Amino acid sequence: MFREIKNKKILVTGASSGIGAAIAKLFIEHGAVVGLHYLKNKEGAENIQKSAAKGMAEIFQGDLFEENSRKQLVPEFVRKFGGIDVLINNAGACHEYKHFSGITEAEWDKMFDLHAKAPFYLTRSAFVHMEKQKWGRIINISTIATEHAGANNMHYYSSKTAADAFTKGFAKEGVANNILVNTIRCGVIDTPMRTKISGYDEERFLKRVAMIPLKRAGKPLDIARLVLFLASECGDFMTGETFTVAGGE
């Protein structure tokens, strides 16, 4: 299984830690050529690159909050590898738990720059190359917060919801050229990002985990395995779908 992943050209955004790192490592294990995008954690990206065979993983730095980086990342990847087969829009951030009454316009815009503008421009850019080869897979990493909503972090889950919506639009456009586009909504996943959020509290986190039917937080590998599945021939009849990986929530 997954033999067809070998030598596929895979670009993973936010690949230096957490879910992105797990995705990148899993694809490398299956012989893919992987682009490791990162913002600040160069060491994390380099460690993944060192674990790969020579030439099978390359590092791409870019600030997806900025327009130029959003527009240049895919062309840089294509120049390096000669094409792109799979794009995984994973990069994301949640800086603090914040009630909607205190969200500033700048904070709102920043979340949409990262979670809506960036995957839109990256996907649009990747489409050009995938249409020529009449094959492509695009997977957007989202959150179950888009389903449950709430008064806090409205700027975060609203921006993710925008990407959930254009997943379906790109999927409809891609079918003529076998470009399949899907979303994975993550539940509570135990990654370093959670401890970096302003106001993080371990006791509150454990209480949240206790609410999950499977009684544990997810692992980055839980998400990575579904990404691999969708990028492989196993996902050849799936597009425009939203898959939830959340321990039963």
Instruction: Please tell me the predicted confidence (pLDDT) of residue 198.
Output: 67
Tracing tokens 């979340």 back to the chain, one arrives at 111
Could you tell me if 183 and 142 are in contact, meaning their C-beta atoms sit under 8 angstroms apart?
A: yes
Instruction: Please tell me the predicted confidence (pLDDT) of residue 199.
Output: 67
What Å distances lie between residue 186 and 55, 109, 157, 172, 247, CA to CA? 31, 23, 12, 23, 9
Return d(Cα 60, Cα 187) in angstroms, integer: 28
Instruction: Please tell me the predicted confidence (pLDDT) of residue 121.
Output: 97
156 is catalytic: yes
Write out the E strands in 47-186: 57-61, 86-89, 136-143, 179-186
The interaxial angle of helices 105-112 and 154-174, nearest 10 deg, is 30
C-alpha atoms less than 13 angstroms from C-alpha of 90 in its C-beta half-sphere: 28
Instruction: Please tell me the predicted confidence (pLDDT) of residue 238.
Output: 98
pTM of the full structure? 0.94
Task: Name beta bridge partners: 87.
Answer: 11, 138
Return d(Cα 126, Cα 128) in angstroms, integer: 5
Comparing CA positions, the residue from 110, 188, 117, 203 lying closest to residue 156 is 110
Instruction: Please tell me the predicted confidence (pLDDT) of residue 236.
Output: 97
Who contacts 126 (Cβ-Cβ below 8 Å, separation ≥6)?
Answer: 11, 74, 84, 87, 136, 138
- All residue ranges of the chain with pLDDT < 50 are none
CATH topology of domain 3-241: Rossmann fold (3.40.50)
Choosing from 38, 121, 156, 157, the catalytic residue is 156
Return d(Cα 15, Cα 38) in angstroms, integer: 6
Task: Name beta bridge partners: 9.
Answer: 33
